[in-house]
Structure 1
Amino acid sequence: TLRQQLKKYKGKHNFALADFIAPKETEIQDYIGCFCVTTGFGTQELANEFEKNLDDYNSIMVKALADRLAEAFAEYLHWQVRTQNWGYAKNENLSNAELIKESYKGIRPAPGYPACPDHLEKLSIWKLLNVEENIGVELTESLAMWPAASVSGYYFAHPEARYFGLGKIKPDQVEDFAKRKGVTYQEVEKWLNPNLAL
Structure 2
Amino acid sequence: VDLNVLRDYIDWTPFFLTWQLSGKYPAILNHAEIGIEARKLFKDANTMLDKMIGEGHVSGKAIFGLFPANSDGDDIVVYTDESRSTEKARLYNLRQQLQLRNNAPNCCLADFVAPVDSGVADYIGAFAVSTGFGADELAAEYAAAHDDYNSIMVKALADRLAEALAEYLHLKVRREYWGYAAEENLDNEQLIRELYQGIRPAPGYPACPEHTEKGTLWQLLDVEAQTGIQLTESYAMWPGAAVSGWYFAHPDSKYFTVSKIGADQLNEYAQKKGWNEQQAQSWLAPNLG
TM-score after normalising by structure 1:
0.97
Number of the residue aligned with 1:64? 156
Quote the residue 2:179 is aligned against.
87
**Residues 37-91 of structure 1 deviation map (CA, whole Å, 9 limit, x = unaligned):** 1110111111111011111010001001111111111111100111011111010
- C-alpha distance in 2, partners of 1:151/1:9? 32
- Matched residues in 2 for 1:9 and 1:44: separation? 44
Q: Which residue of 112, 116, 134 maps to 1:42?
A: 134
Q: Does 1:22 align with 2:114?
A: yes
Per mean C-alpha deviation after superposition, the further-off stretch among 181-190 and 61-70 is: 181-190
Counterparts in 2 of 1:90-169, with a 5 A limit? Answer: 90-169=182-261
SS of the residue 1:14 aligns to: coil
Partner in structure 1 of residue 79 of structure 2? none
Measure the CA separation in 2 of the matches of 1:96 and 1:42.
27
Cα deviation, residue 186, structure 1: 2.2
Q: CA deviation at 1:107?
A: 0.2
SS of equivalent residue, structure 1 residue 102: coil
C-alpha distance in 2 between matches for 1:27 and 1:150: 36
- Which residue type is aligned with residue 57 of structure 1? Y
Q: Once the 2 structures are TM-superposed, how far is the Cα of residue 8 of structure 1 from its aligned partner?
A: 1.6
Distance 2:253 2:215 in 1: 23
Which deviates further from its counterpart, 3-12 or 13-22?
3-12
Quote how far apart the aligned CAs of 1:9 are: 2.9
Matching of residue 178 in structure 1 with residue 274 in structure 2: no
Residue 196 of structure 1 and its aligned partner are, at CA, apart by 0.5
Match of 1:19, SS state, is: helix
Q: Secondary structure at the match of 1:78?
A: helix
Provide the alpha-carbon RMSD of the alignment: 0.9
Structure whose alpha-carbon radius of gyration is higher = 2
Deviations 1:94-122 (A, max 9, x none): 12221111000000000000110110000
Describe the SS at the equivalent of 2:257.
coil
Opposite residue 181 of structure 2, the aligned amino acid is A
Unaligned runs of 5+ in 1: none
- Report the 3-state secondary structure (helix = DSSP H, G, I; strand = E; otherwise coil) of the residue aligned with 1:58: helix
After superposing the two structures, state which structure 1 stretch, 186-195 or 152-161, moved more: 186-195
Matched position secondary structure for 2:245: strand
Higher RCO (C-alpha 8 Å, min separation 6)? 1
SS state of the match for residue 119, structure 1? coil
2:24 aligned residue: none
Aligned length: 197
Select the structure that is richer in strand: 2
Q: Distance in 1 between matches of 2:253 and 2:288?
A: 24
State which of 93, 104, 112 in structure 2 corresponds to 1:12.
104
Using the size of structure 2 for normalisation, the TM-score is 0.67
CA distance in 1, matches of 2:229, 2:187: 32
